[in-house]
Amino acid sequence: MPALSTIIGGFCRYNYGLIFDDLREIQRQYGYLPADQLEALSRRSQIPLPHIHGVADFFPHFHLSPPPRVTVQVCADMSCHLRGADELRAELSRRFGAMNNRDIAVTDVSCLGQCDGAPAVRVNDHSFRTVTASQAEALAIGALGGAAIPAANAEPRQTALKADPYQNSERYGALRKLAETRDFDGVIAQLKAAGLSGLGGAGFPTGVKWEAVRKTPATEKYVICNADESEPGTIKDRFILGNLTHLVIEGMILAGLVTEARRGILYIRHEYEPQEHLIAEEIRHCYDSGLLGSRVCGADLAFDLELFVSPGGYICGEETALMEAIEGKRAEPRNKPPFPVYEGLWGKPTALNNVETFANVPQILVNGIDWYNRRA
């Protein structure tokens, strides 16, 4: 699997998109971002120091000064509120009230994407579902004493889901067929006939979007999956990523072949750590199986796929803000037009859809338009 530097490294002396890897590594070592380390990063990368400070200060994941040794964040959004999050936070504040706030801090946090496991708590960037005050206290005290924070109580994976068209056949069948037939215009026609619209909220017709990218002349094009699901109560993408991972990946590869994009990036929110590992595992499987790389399915078709973990921030769910983050900038939305299909990531044509949209593409191609329309 290629590093992100091989995807966008040709556009500048230093791949600005790698700034988050560098910042995360510094914070992992020191617990925050010391000024001298940022200055060293500036010298090493030749990125102006004000740019590095501007990026680090923008995203809530990074700390420019030493944070408390343990931070307990209680989700304050509606699902958790209805399941007792306010009382949970008050109880934790009471239990830790006599302690130095440089040791333990109890704060609110916006939706953690665990609405079906409310109330949710995050202890030093590790999320936990259906947490009691005693459980949260034990986790915090353990972390304060130097104990490793245990793995989160992950949700069980589902099997034999009706949405999976490959229950009785080999996975990635739609991709193998397309690599053989090269009927790229036929895929666009099927998506249009099925009426598949963007399922992230905007509802723009997927076939029209892919066709626009395909027809836009450019030597570099991109496919992006927006998995930065941040709206309170919207956890469908998390479920799809965890249980139908292969359909999302296949949808992105299909998009790459159809639009003539050779690079794809799956942008996932950092709170979805279990899903992040599943996606990385599936991407490795695809490279090992010849479904990704320089010869997709043994044909002279190329597509590489990379996983990009969000540095945090609700605004990153907006598509142009998301692209700004991938480029190593503050996630500030761009003006439109131009639209991403013409000038998207790094100023190149980009097909950007959300998780559910990509997962629906293989279903339509395998099960047919009539099946999709009946289901819809």
Task: Report domain extents, the chain.
Answer: 4-58, 70-144, 173-375
Residue 17 confidence class, pLDDT cut points 50, 70, 90:
confident
Judged by DSSP in three states, 278 sits in: helix
Residue 247 confidence class, pLDDT cut points 50, 70, 90:
very high
pLDDT of residue 161: 83
Q: Name the average pLDDT for the chain.
A: 91
Angle at 112 between CA 94 and CA 134, to 5 degrees: 30
Closest CA to 323 of 334, 336, 314: 334
pLDDT of residue 163: 87
CB environment 194-210: b (16+ within 10 A), e (fewer):
bebbbbbeeeeebbebb
Q: Do domains 70-144 and 173-375 have the same CATH topology?
A: no
pLDDT of residue 233: 82
The C-alpha atoms of residue 260 and residue 278 are separated, in whole angstroms, by: 27
Residue 5 confidence class, pLDDT cut points 50, 70, 90:
very low
Residue with tokens 């910042």: 23
Mean pLDDT of the region 337-360: 96
The C-alpha atoms of residue 247 and residue 249 are separated, in whole angstroms, by: 5
Closest CA to 121 of 157, 142, 152: 152
Residue 174 confidence class, pLDDT cut points 50, 70, 90:
very high
- Residue 271 near residue 112, CB atoms below 8 Å: yes
pLDDT of residue 4: 38
pLDDT of residue 153: 60
Mean pLDDT of the region 311-327: 93
φ, ψ for residue 274 (rounded to 5)? -60, -40
The C-alpha atoms of residue 84 and residue 234 are separated, in whole angstroms, by: 19
Judged by DSSP in three states, 20 sits in: helix
pTM as predicted: 0.92
Per residue in 80-137, pLDDT (tens digit) is: 999 999 999 999 999 999 999 899 999 999 999 999 999 999 999 899 999 999 999 9
Residue 200 confidence class, pLDDT cut points 50, 70, 90:
confident
Query: Cα(first)–Cα(last) distance of the chain, in Å?
Result: 36
Per residue in 50-61, pLDDT (tens digit) is: 999 999 999 988
Mean pLDDT of the region 314-340: 95
- CATH fold, domain 70-144, is Glutaredoxin (3.40.30)
Percent of the chain with pLDDT strictly greater than 90 = 82
- pLDDT at 284 > cutoff 60: yes
Q: Domain spanning 173-375 has what CATH number?
A: 3.40.50.11540
- Residue 110 near residue 134, CB atoms below 8 Å: no
Residue 13 confidence class, pLDDT cut points 50, 70, 90:
very low
Residue with tokens 């799809």: 240
Cα radius of gyration rounded to whole Å, the chain: 22
The C-alpha atoms of residue 111 and residue 78 are separated, in whole angstroms, by: 8
- pLDDT at 9 > cutoff 50: no
